[in-house]
Chains A and B, each alone.
Chain A
């Protein structure tokens, strides 16, 4: 091996290490996002370890279906589908200016293991008509009780997610809201859910 070849190897290794140390940004030129929600600051960024991989629950590929079937991106007509960037924009826009709410539709056990920053846990079952307190939740979402139901004209815009593309909890939440009269135009669905969020190494928080 010539000295020149050795030099090339050394230079390649140094350059390679420099690449490994580079930030994992959200998008080109944007490393992270800082949002203030009701006086509390949240920062969304990505895991900087380029070798990180998912393990455990969210690494599974083949859960049994029925039970964990592939979910539609649009669970009901008129609902807007969303991805990670839309979720982040939603937090910085609608949620920050009090016109929207990011809803984690999973049961509390899941929510408490880690959730998207700024999300509120509204388990899908609490939105169903079988919950005797359903009306209280609709009121909290800005619906105004009128004679024959609710007036949703000043209701919050909702972004809803579950565990991921295989999990029906978000789908159920969207459908329960629409059955209660919530306008589909005010509902956005992040089907990727926590699994896709984690797959991109995005920040999660423990409530």
Chain B
């Protein structure tokens, strides 16, 4: 009896030892540090070099100021699209592939994260959504209209009349920086921007700001420690904020600099008035 109890006890001790000393699976309780982030970037395709297409564009949309009929008081419907993306989408509609956001640095973290988010959601839901920047197809009525006219080889005046008629009729909306001081749509700056983007896409040099833009007033303000140079511009008939940005910076995308510097007198980019004095900050 004693012997069998002792044997049983010994077995129990061995069993306890095993329970205490067995390899634990604690590892499962905490996640292991993983290797690198699995977020991948969905890059836009390599920029094509649309040399021939640029030539076509330059022919049909020569940089010449379209004739401007003064028709104040027209309420042009605006949207929140940007001039740069509108121009890029028009180019995409013509079969040219341009990054609609050339100012975005390669490593735009938001864009990278968003691309990761979209592929993550797509993996679970099975629905693929790409960012607008990855899918630059003409979507707005304005873009489709301009693409159609350029394909037909229409000249600037024709496009200007066409776009303004459509805007007056309310069938298209335009980026707000294209609205001029007399309530028209500045097709000139849109067409110029399209050519500029096509030129950049073709490997050309981005247009630079003119040496001395017309109508500029320079003031030097002396302070105790420094002297600061301010530039002012008085809005004339037919000006749009995009055109002013193009004149001063050679880049319509920089209209935001002007808009930000004049927020106290400018309620929105489509609200510039003839005679209004705008501060032009340094780029």
Contact = CB atoms under 8 A, between A and B. Distances in A.
Given A13-B12, A137-B117, A207-B34, A47 B110 contact: no
A182 to B, nearest CB: 14
A131 B33 CA distance: 28
A141 B124 CA distance: 11
Nearest to B16: A13
A3 B31 contact: no
B115 to A, nearest CB: 8
B114 A114 contact: no
Contact of B117 (A52, A114, A121): A121
Contacts of A14: 12, 15
Given A17-B16, A47-B25, A126-B110, A137 B30 contact: no
B124 A126 contact: no
Given A6-B5, A49-B24, A55 B116 contact: no
Interface string A1-14: 00100110110011
Interface residues of B, number: 46
Interface in A1-57: 3, 6-7, 9-10, 13-14, 17, 20, 37-38, 47-49, 51-56
A123 B9 contact: no
A140 B110 contact: no
A35 to B, nearest CB: 12
A58 B30 CA distance: 9
A9 B9 contact: yes
Interface residues of A, number: 53
Interface string B105-116: 000001101101
B118 A7 contact: no
A171 B24 CA distance: 36
Contacts of A114: 30-32, 34
Interface string A93-121: 00100100100000011001111001011
B33 A133 contact: no
B8 interface: yes
Contacts of A86: none
Given A98-B126, A126-B110, A140-B129, A7 B25 contact: no
A139 interface: yes
Contacts of B131: 133, 136
B38 A207 contact: yes
A108 B129 contact: no
B110 A10 contact: no
Interface string A132-149: 110111011100000000
Nearest to A5: B5
A125 interface: yes
A37 B129 contact: no
Contacts of B110: 125-126, 130-133
Given A17-B16, A49-B29, A120 B120 contact: yes
Given A47-B29, A207-B38, A135 B121 contact: no
Given A52-B25, A121-B120, 9 more contacts: A10-B12, A13-B15, A47-B29, A109-B37, A120-B117, A120-B124, A121-B39, A136-B132, A198-B29
Interface of A: 3, 6-7, 9-10, 13-14, 17, 20, 37-38, 47-49, 51-56, 58, 95, 98, 101, 108-109, 112-115, 118, 120-123, 125-126, 130-133, 135-137, 139-141, 156, 198, 201, 204, 206-207
10 contacts: A10-B9, A10-B11, A52-B28, A53-B29, A113-B31, A114-B30, A114-B34, A120-B124, A133-B110, A136-B129
